[in-house]
Amino acid sequence: MRHPSRPLAIAALALLVVVLVAACAPALGDRASPYRLGRDGPALLRPGGEVYVQVDVRRDVFALTEADFAGRWTPWGANLARAVATHRFVVRDVIAPDGWDLRLDRAVAYLRSGDRQAEIELLLRVTAPADARLGGQRVRALVVDQRGASLPVEIVVQVGR
């Protein structure tokens, strides 16, 4: 005969496992698991906190080629090479509420075999002051490469407690 509390104990154990696994997962918006601009909705942020936002840039925006990273390419899986490109970019003309900061954390170029131009992945870090106003905020800037080509970026941030 089955014990009547056994299904309840199994359900409780399953819930505990789910909670523990979720606690181990990286939070969306940290450096390892950034928000993806245009895909994940507004970035969530607490006053005094920071959030990382990934921007995937079309090839034609900066038109960087294999030659632009000569000697810097490293294999990155089948038919793909990767090069750190942070030194080629700056963030300019930041428009944000007082005390906010937007910085380029990392830029990486990816080149597939047979492609002439590299795809660029930018990782931006948005920091809010401890007294940040709650609610929706917009942070705007230009990401500019060494040649002067630019990409306007607008990040919507939802500040909450």
Q: Cβ neighbours of residue 150 under 8 Å, at least 6 residues apart?
A: 92, 142, 143, 144
According to DSSP, the β-strands at 150-159 and 43-45 are parallel
- Which region among 66-75, 79-88, 124-133 has the lowest average model confidence (pLDDT)? 66-75
User: What would the pLDDT profile of 12-37 be if each residue is shown by its tens digit?
Assistant: 444 444 433 333 334 567 788 898 88
Which pLDDT score is estimated for 69?
87
Task: Give the pTM.
Answer: 0.78
Do 143 and 104 contact (CB within 8 A), yes or no?
Answer: yes
For the chain, the structural domain boundaries read 27-159
Rounded to an integer, what distance in angstroms lies between the CA atom of residue 143 and that of residue 114?
A: 27
Which pLDDT score is estimated for 18?
40
Rounded to an integer, what distance in angstroms lies between the CA atom of residue 156 and that of residue 138?
A: 5
CATH of domain 27-159: 2.60.40.10
According to DSSP, the β-strands at 50-57 and 35-36 are parallel
Q: How many CB atoms lie under 10 A from the CB of residue 136?
A: 10
User: What would the pLDDT profile of 51-62 be if each residue is shown by its tens digit?
Assistant: 999 999 988 899
